[in-house]
């Protein structure tokens, strides 16, 4: 039987006419669990993580999975078992880390809007570091820590004003973005941090965006961060770790991001050349670990011809997979079983939600019939994590595949699940 691996998806392939994920036919999983359905490959996640581990071989490094990409407990548990820490952006994400058996001492807390309650929660748990994003946050965090008789370990997130050349909604390192402290204010902010009773300076952080497909923005940002470290340490404030964030892109539609090990070889060469190669490094990959490990499986409900467009109406929708509606993002869409007898036509693949923005793919050539099933590719990141119950649609089930074994890691939600915490008016 011939096997054809899908580009960028090394553990997803056609064997003959049938699409497999690792050693399981995806159609079998759809038949067992229904659709819409998210399916993830553990081998793909392991392989993606291994590229980072190779890139950092022999260095002092902590890889912290950016769990906003996909916070499903079993996914978090998978990375915890590999020794990963976690990059979180809410108190709820910290609770997920602990529920999945993760180590609070390997947690970095990022985000521009941490509340006092979240600060207390993280300090009580004993997290590794707060990535502080503003001078105002620094003052509040010190107050909270002092009230608890503690010092908060802190790195300042620097906004280096480097263009990551990505979608504007996921760019985070330019002057017009809400994230981080301006490059010009960084030294003064560190000096203020060092003077506060509730703050212990431990590092510096820089994260310039997501779905970055070139090495140049990382290298440019690194130069600016290293310049800052020299200035900060010249002022008598030691920097113990350097956190370069995450953001490495994946192949959605012929994208060619550098491999993780190649990228970090370039960055580490720069560190070595400037005398920083022996520092502790932190890195926060998310999408690049899980994005191409996942599929969203959906059933074709109707084929609807039109004067200007043909529509392939499926049972997955923008509430299941919101990236196309939010970012006009591209996801490959392929059939679970290839037809030779059905002529291909060009369709917009759309869902049943009552919004014109409810589409999964534009102008796709597909040979399909009602009742066929499709796989939306590269659906492991920012899909299930951003899903909702809009139109009182239960969120999809999730399945994790390892070789020829599959495990349901989240059952399908019912309508009753979606309104369980609501209350009717009293009579």
Active site residues: 354
The answer to whether 323 is a known ligand-binding residue is yes
User: What is the C-alpha separation between 17 and 203, in angstroms, rounded?
Assistant: 52
User: What is the C-alpha separation between 233 and 340, in angstroms, rounded?
Assistant: 66
The answer to whether 285 is a known ligand-binding residue is yes
The answer to whether 302 is a known ligand-binding residue is no
Q: In 160-276, at which residue ranges do the beta strands (DSSP E only) sit?
A: 181-182, 199-206, 241-243
User: What is the C-alpha separation between 258 and 254, in angstroms, rounded?
Assistant: 13
The answer to whether 390 is a known ligand-binding residue is no
Residues near 187 by beta carbon (within 8 Å), at least 6 away in sequence:
228, 231, 232, 235
Phi, psi of 232 (to 5 degrees): -65, -45
The answer to whether 373 is a known ligand-binding residue is no
3-state DSSP call for residue 10? Answer: strand
User: What is the C-alpha separation between 171 and 166, in angstroms, rounded?
Assistant: 6
The answer to whether 284 is a known ligand-binding residue is yes
Cα distances from 380 to residues 131, 223, 317, 323, 325, in angstroms, run 26, 32, 16, 12, 17
The answer to whether 116 is a known ligand-binding residue is no
Residues near 391 by beta carbon (within 8 Å), at least 6 away in sequence:
317, 319, 352, 353, 354
Residues near 350 by beta carbon (within 8 Å), at least 6 away in sequence:
311, 312, 313, 314, 358, 359, 360
Could you tell me which residues are annotated as the binding site? 247, 284-287, 323, 327, 355, 382
Could you tell me which residues are annotated as the binding site for pyridoxal 5'-phosphate? 247, 284-287, 382
Could you tell me which residues are annotated as the binding site for substrate? 287, 323, 327, 355, 382
């Amino acid at each position: 039987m011939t096997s054809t691996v899908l580009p960028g998806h090394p553990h997803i392939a056609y064997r003959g006419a049938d699409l497999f994920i690792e050693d399981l036919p995806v159609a079998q999983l759809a038949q067992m669990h229904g659709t819409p359905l998210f399916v993830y490959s553990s081998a793909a996640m392991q392989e993606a993580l291994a590229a980072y581990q190779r890139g950092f071989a022999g260095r002092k490094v902590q890889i912290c999975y950016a769990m906003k990409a996909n916070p499903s407990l079993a996914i978090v548990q998978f990375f915890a078992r590999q020794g990963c820490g976690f990059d979180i952006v809410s108190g709820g994400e910290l609770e997920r880390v602990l529920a999945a058996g993760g180590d609070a001492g390997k947690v970095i807390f990022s985000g521009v809007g941490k509340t006092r309650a979240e600060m207390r929660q993280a300090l009580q748990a004993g997290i590794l570091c707060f990535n502080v994003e503003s001078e105002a946050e620094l003052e509040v965090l010190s107050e909270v820590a002092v009230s608890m008789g503690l010092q908060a370990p802190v790195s300042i997130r620097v906004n280096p004003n480097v263009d990551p050349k990505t979608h504007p909604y996921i760019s985070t390192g330019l002057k017009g973005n809400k994230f981080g402290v301006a490059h010009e204010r960084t030294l003064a902010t560190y000096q203020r941090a060092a003077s506060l009773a509730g703050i212990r300076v431990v590092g510096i952080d820089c994260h310039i965006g997501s779905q970055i497909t070139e090495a140049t923005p990382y290298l440019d940002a690194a130069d600016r961060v290293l310049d800052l470290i020299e200035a900060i340490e010249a002022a008598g404030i030691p920097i113990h770790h350097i956190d370069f964030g995450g953001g490495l892109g994946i192949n959605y539609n012929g994208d060619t991001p550098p491999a993780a090990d190649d990228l970090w070889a370039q960055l580490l060469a720069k560190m070595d050349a400037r005398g920083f190669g022996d520092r502790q490094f932190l890195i926060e990959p998310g999408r690049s670990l899980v994005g191409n490990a996942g599929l969203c499986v959906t059933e074709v409900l109707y084929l609807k011809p039109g004067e200007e467009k043909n529509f392939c109406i499926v049972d997955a929708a923008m509430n299941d997979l919101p990236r196309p509606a939010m970012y006009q993002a591209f996801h490959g869409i392929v059939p679970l079983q290839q037809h030779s007898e059905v002529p291909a036509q060009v369709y917009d693949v759309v869902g049943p939600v009552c919004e014109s923005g409810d589409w999964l793919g534009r102008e796709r050539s597909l040979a399909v019939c009602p009742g066929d099933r499709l796989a939306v590719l590269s659906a492991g990141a920012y899909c299930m994590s951003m899903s909702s119950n809009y139109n009182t649609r239960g969120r999809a089930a999730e399945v994790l595949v390892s070789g020829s074994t599959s495990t349901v890691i989240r059952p399908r939600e019912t309508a009753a699940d979606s309104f369980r915490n609501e209350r009717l008016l009293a009579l």
